[in-house]
Structure 1
Amino acid sequence: MKLPKYGQFAGLAIVGALALTACGSDQAVDPEESAVAADAECVEGGGTLSGAGASSQENAMAAWKAAWEGACEGTTLEYDSVGSGSGRSQFIDGAVAFAGSDAALDEEETAQATERCAGAEVVNLPGYVAPIAVAFNLEGVDTLNLRPEVIAGIFNQEITTWDDEAIAADNPDADLPSTDIVPVNRSDESGTTENFAAYLAAAAPEDWPHEVSGDWPIDPVEAAQGSSGVVNALQGGEGTIGYVDASHVGELGTAAVGVGDDFVEYSPEAAASIVDASPAREGNTENDHAIELDYTTDEAGVYPIVLVSYEVACMEYEDQAEADLVRSFLSYVNSEEGQQAAADEAGSAPLSQETRDAIQGTIDQITAAA
């Protein structure tokens, strides 16, 4: 199954977002300025829902939290944006009801999570689709054209100065200094890292000969925890370059990535194009919606460095109230309104109706064990 095109739906916008539990959002605002989830299916009596995981989702999660809590009296979302790896671990350990993850559970994690779900199926549900920006801080330079092999060479610490011929060749009009390049990677296990590494391994295998993992594979020049930590490190240095969910870029410079003979800037529409062209993950069950991204496409207008961030949940919970809260919140995240809220707040690509319908069919089955 291929995911249909994104970005074609309108919805009620969320103007701002509440602060998240623990790490918090970069863009917290007064809750009175936030719209409520008009179509949310609330749980009678409310309750507290706990989640943890991907920091890439933190701005979208703040928007979802504000709207869902505003619509559902007595309901609270506590989401700790500790990174995908920690979120999956907390979910597997039973510490949270759902995880946000920039990578679907692998085979070993699925087995562990099935045990955590008391033998019930665990599912990966796409909730947030966004480009991963290659962002940098270089005085006087706002954008650069970078081919996959050049990006790989930079992060593999083989290209070490900004005036290197490999960079200059595709940027004849840029005033490139001899400043040292300072690559910044995530210090924590991260789905953003895994997606970025998967792109490098597929698009520039000779220049990135490392196993794909959520952990950075070589000794770092500089490392930081979480998306916000990487951005702070980039902003605090000169000649820095890193990879980060595009919603966190701010005023940093960004790269247009080589695709075939062209260079493509990141955008929700360009990111959606590669997701649309990618198949379902081999071995998925009927209720599992993980996909395999095609990083080697040379199709015009496609931005190839993309993350699909999932909400990971049990199909059955031991507690009925917890199951009801998970179903209620994930239904809002998956709704047209919820997807548009994330797009407005974080620049993500909204899921299409066809994809949302398929995912909702799974969410509707979430229940408590008999």
Structure 2
Amino acid sequence: MNFKRFGRTAAIAFVAVIALSSCAANEGDTASTGDNAASGLTGTLNAGGASSQGAAQEAWVAGFQTANPDVTINYDPSGSGAGREAFIAGGSAFAGSDSYLDEDELAGVFAACAPDTKAVDLPVYISPIAVIFNVEGVDELNLDADTLAKIFAGTITQWDDAAIVALNPDATLPSALITAVHRSDDSGTTENFTDYLAKAAPEAWGEEASDTFPFGGEAAPQTSGVVSAVTNGVNTIGYADASAAGSLNTAALKVGDEFVAYTPEAAAEVVAGSPLVEGREADDLALDLNRLTTNPEEYPLVLVSYAIVCNEYADAEQGALVKAYVEYMASEAGQAVAAESAGIAPLSAELSENVASVLATVK
């Protein structure tokens, strides 16, 4: 991964974090709760955002509150867009978001942050986005980016369309209308889904990446709403964080010359080969995901979900709570419980180290 913006200062900060972690480890068992066990922290932390993080946040909250019984953490899985809006307005201490802050958001004022300071994007969650489907008589489905784009743009409307048949010669595809389900709310999952289609099938898609779905069709709120609509509908297809796919069938995507089913490992491989977004501050870890990979070991329809935090808080006590909680989320222990509960791909050692380096400077 390309971390050229990091230099000596960040490296020193990370060494300091490791030293503190080692001391904490010597003081007690932190295997299930990260580096914050017996910290003496108190207070309430209100946050919200990405519904994709829902299962992971439940595990993170349980682990952190067990280690810090005088802390209460409330996470509202309201969607990435709503989470960023609430954080920017000062209504929450941090945001969970499947898309990083855009240039307009960065140019504004963050009410929870100290005057003349900004917020940064810290990766805490890596997951594939599953293309979920419920089609009578079909258990397996292969799709390339061009065909997937046309389905969701509404230019392919029948399941037995020639393009789908050509990709699935052994399937018995019904002569039935396709019901394509998308998110009705501003969604980081939608931003990642449309980013993949915009880059991998630009002519078929014809739109830029967006938190807001650009076409018509059936819409449902949040991840759970899309999963419910696909599950309970007829001849349906949708997209959702893979942790929420449950027992639904999922499509394999064409990568290079092969069709690739999602796995956490294949999602992590794409992230490992993706550079940081250019032109941002050195402590901002927004990633420019490689959607055009032809390596069948990689699954390009992936999301990286961020904890968006102030680099300095107006309320120092809130800053200390956010710092400790996000440190746990990104720690080896925090990633392990999220992997178990939500099936995420844990952060690479390199990415985890760089998140720790930035958090060491948060106050």
Please give the TM-score of this superposition, normalised by the length of structure 1: 0.88
Query: Would the aligned equivalents of 1:113 and 1:122 in 2 still touch at CA under 8 Å?
Result: no
Q: Distance in 2 between matches of 1:165 and 1:156?
A: 17
Q: Distance in 2 between matches of 1:116 and 1:47?
A: 16
SS class of match (1:125): strand
- Name the structure 2 match of 1:150: 147
Pair 1:72 & 2:68 matched = yes
Query: Would the aligned equivalents of 2:330 and 2:352 in 1 still touch at CA under 8 Å?
Result: yes
The one of 200, 203, 216 equivalent to 2:200 is 203
The one of 153, 164, 167 equivalent to 1:167 is 164
SS class of match (1:195): helix
Instruction: Count residues with an aligned counterpart.
Output: 335
Query: Would the aligned equivalents of 1:41 and 1:328 in 2 still touch at CA under 8 Å?
Result: no
**Aligned partner letter, 2:267:** A
SS class of match (1:51): strand
Closer/same/farther in 2, CA of residues 280 and 46 from structure 1, 3 Å limit:
same
**Aligned partner letter, 1:331:** E
Query: Would the aligned equivalents of 2:80 and 2:97 in 1 still touch at CA under 8 Å?
Result: yes
Closer/same/farther in 2, CA of residues 38 and 298 from structure 1, 3 Å limit:
closer
* Segment of structure 1 superposing worse, 85-94 or 278-287: 278-287
Q: Distance in 2 between matches of 1:317 and 1:44?
A: 20
Q: CA RMSD in A?
A: 1.4
Q: Distance in 2 between matches of 1:42 and 1:93?
A: 32
SS class of match (2:231): helix
- Name the structure 2 match of 1:227: 223
- Name the structure 1 match of 2:279: 283
Q: Distance in 1 between matches of 2:129 and 2:173?
A: 24
Shift in Å at residue 211 of structure 1?
Answer: 2.3
The one of 177, 180, 188 equivalent to 1:180 is 177
Please give the TM-score of this superposition, normalised by the length of structure 2: 0.89
Pair 1:96 & 2:95 matched = no
Query: Would the aligned equivalents of 2:112 and 2:313 in 1 still touch at CA under 8 Å?
Result: no
Pair 1:194 & 2:196 matched = no
Structure 1's unaligned 5+ residue stretches are 4-34
**Per-residue Cα deviation, 1:33-60 (whole angstroms, up to 9, x for no partner):** xx95153256525111111100010011
**Per-residue Cα deviation, 1:163-205 (whole angstroms, up to 9, x for no partner):** 1111111111111111210000000000100110010010011
Structure 2's unaligned 5+ residue stretches are 4-30
SS class of match (1:217): coil
The one of 317, 322, 329 equivalent to 1:326 is 322
Shift in Å at residue 158 of structure 1?
Answer: 0.9
Q: Distance in 1 between matches of 2:34 and 2:276?
A: 32
**Per-residue Cα deviation, 1:15-36 (whole angstroms, up to 9, x for no partner):** xxxxxxxxxxxxxxxxxxxx95
Structure 1 segments of 4+ aligned residues over 6 angstroms from their partners: none
- Name the structure 2 match of 1:245: 241
- Name the structure 1 match of 2:2: 2
Query: Would the aligned equivalents of 2:34 and 2:332 in 1 still touch at CA under 8 Å?
Result: no
Shift in Å at residue 113 of structure 1?
Answer: 4.3
**Per-residue Cα deviation, 1:185-237 (whole angstroms, up to 9, x for no partner):** 00000010011001001001110001221001122x21000000100111110
